[in-house]
Amino acid sequence: MKHLFYTAVIILSSGFGNHFLAQTTILEENFDAGIPSNYVLYNQDGYTPDSAVIEYTNAWISKQDPADPSNTVASSTSYFDQPGMANRWLVTPSITLGPFGNILTWQGKSHDASFAESYLVLLSTTGDAVADFTDTLKAVVNEDIYWTNHSVNLSELGYNGQNVHIAFVLRTLDGFKFYMDSLKVVEQDPVGIAGKEMVEFQLYPNPATETITFTTEANVQQAIIRDINGAIVMRSTEQEIDVRNLANGMYFLELVHSNGTVSKRFIKQ
Q: What is the pLDDT of residues 144-197, one digit of tens each?
A: 999 999 999 998 888 989 999 999 999 999 999 999 999 999 987 555 444 444
Distance (Å) of CA 109 to CA 9, 45, 53, 170? 32, 21, 17, 12
Distance CA 112, CA 204 (A): 41
In the chain, ranges of CATH 2.60.120.200 domains:
6-192
Distance CA 117, CA 140 (A): 8
The CATH number of the domain covering residues in 199-268: 2.60.40.3080
Mean per-residue pLDDT for 103-109?
A: 95
Contacts of 204 (CB under 8 A, 6+ apart): 212, 213
pLDDT of 156? 83
Contacts of 216 (CB under 8 A, 6+ apart): 199, 200, 201, 202, 255, 257
Distance (Å) of CA 179 to CA 64, 104, 111, 121? 9, 17, 7, 14
In the chain, ranges of CATH 2.60.40.3080 domains:
199-268
pLDDT digits (tens, 9 = 90+) for 134-149: 999 999 999 999 999 9
Give the global pTM: 0.69
Do 42 and 91 form a contact (C-beta atoms < 8 A)?
Answer: yes
pLDDT of 264? 85
Selected residue with higher pLDDT from 254 and 9? 254
Q: Among residues of the chain, what percentage have pLDDT more than 70?
A: 87
Do 206 and 267 form a contact (C-beta atoms < 8 A)?
Answer: yes
Do 196 and 99 form a contact (C-beta atoms < 8 A)?
Answer: no
- Confidence band for 17, pLDDT divided at 50, 70 and 90: very low
CATH topology of domain 6-192: Jelly Rolls (2.60.120)
